[in-house]
Amino acid sequence: MEILGIDIGGSAIKGAPVDTETGNLLASRFRIATPEMLKPKEMAQIVEQIAKNFGWDGPIGCGFPSVVRGGVVYTAANIHKKWVGANAQQLFSAATDCPVLVLNDADAAGMAEMAFGAGRGQTGAVIIITIGTGLGVALFTNGQLFPNVELGHIQMDGKDAEWRASDAARKRDKLSWKAWAKRFDAYLNYLEKLFWPDLFILGGGVSKVADKFIPLLTVQAQVVPAKLLNEAGIIGAAMAARSLMRQDRGDR
């Protein structure tokens, strides 16, 4: 089943068609940098541009950096405040003239890692963290997703955890990997006391250099880098949109 997956991040929007049975990208990623917070219509234009780049006229899955329920955006930590209350699903569908499913971006990445990556075959509690502009978190129990957990926004030292422990925080504060790992380790230990997971999977751009900080972490749970790296959000978004194909067949 071929579906276009789109991953909306804090600094770029990227997409590619995906074979949802294998998790393989069917073309090279198309990426558009977004250095500024985009308002809904502006972002919809970029989603349309990505769809047009692939000549796409089928279902689209879109991972979005917010709590998303029924296609509606509920939070705006790292996106423009005008998104709160907007129906991203309807907006993107109108822009692309395609059926679109929108879900939380960390949930999308987590779905991909559980199906095709480091979480494949894992039972028990698994926490997947995408480390980038913020800290996106997906929580799975025996393979079942608990959506929209937003654990990057738990309070640590009076601030959101992602303010201190995201990759953006590392760059902003010009931290060495050792100094940043100490902050991130405190965050993981906090999550461990709350959820006692069997496994942490760490994704996002920093997963490419996991050897620089994973050996410095002290949590009891196993910690591994994500296998799908920056492709996870695209693959998971496409996987989630398979429901659109089932609905379409059911309408016929």
Domains and CATH numbers, the chain: 2-107+232-251 (3.30.420.40), 119-227 (3.30.420.40)
- Give the predicted TM-score (pTM) of the model: 0.92
Longest Cα–Cα distance in the chain:
58
Q: Which tens digit of pLDDT belongs to each residue from 119-142? A: 999 999 999 999 988 999 999 999
Amino acid at residue number 6: I
Pure H helices in 117-214:
161-165, 167-172, 177-195
DSSP 62-87: EEESS-EETTEE---SSS-GGGTT-B
Q: Which tens digit of pLDDT belongs to each residue from 179-211? A: 999 999 999 999 999 999 999 999 988 989 999
Cα–Cα distance measured from residue 73 to residue 189, given in angstroms and rounded to the nearest whole number: 30
DSSP 90-108: HHHHHHHTS-EEEEEHHHH
Which residue is listed with tokens 């608990």?
146
